Structure formats: C-alpha cells, structure tokens
Amino acid sequence: MAINPIEDLVNQVLDKLPQGADALRDDVNQNLKAGLTIALKKMDLVTRDEFDVQKAVLEKTREKLNQLEKQVQALERS
C-alpha cells in the first residue's frame, strides 16, 4: 500500500515526461500535486486511520448487539 498515493501518482506521470524537460517537469510536479490534492479534498474522503477507528467502533457495536440479542432470546425462553 502506498504511503502517499498522490506522490506516487505524480512520480508515475513525471517518469513519462521526456528527459531534458526539467522546467516542464517542475511545473507538472507542482501543478499536478496541487490539483490532485484539491480534487481529493472535494471528494470528502477519510484517512486510513479514521477508517480503522470507525471499523473498530462498528466491530464493538456488533459484539454488543450480539450479546444483547442472546440476552433477549434467553429472556424470551424464560
């Protein structure tokens, strides 16, 4: 998994540019990073850390729900 996917994508594009186009390479590097960063922020994405935290909360909630369902079933049998 990429640590910085924007950086990886920019590097892939820069690798395709002709060798001697240093000024173009710098311009593409700056503008592409800025454009991708803005586009991704508009998508309202979450970080992997935020996702993992929410996943853990959901797993705990499911465990608690399963426990409560068992309790209800036991009470219904009584």
Residue 5: closest CA among 47, 44, 68: 47
Compute the mean pLDDT over every residue in the chain, rounded to the nearest whole number: 87
Q: What pLDDT was estimated at residue 75?
A: 95
Distance CA 72, CA 78 (A): 10
pLDDT confidence tier of residue 3, bands split at 50, 70 and 90: low
Report residue 64 CA to chain centroid gap.
27
Residue 40, pLDDT score:
81
pTM over 0.75? The answer is: no
**Tokens 């991708």 sit at which residue?**
36
Sign of the Cα torsion 66, 72, 74, 77 reads negative
Domain ranges of the chain: 1-45, 46-78
Give the mean model confidence (pLDDT) for residues 49-53.
95
Res 1 pLDDT > 60: no
Question: 17 by DSSP, 3-state: which?
Answer: coil
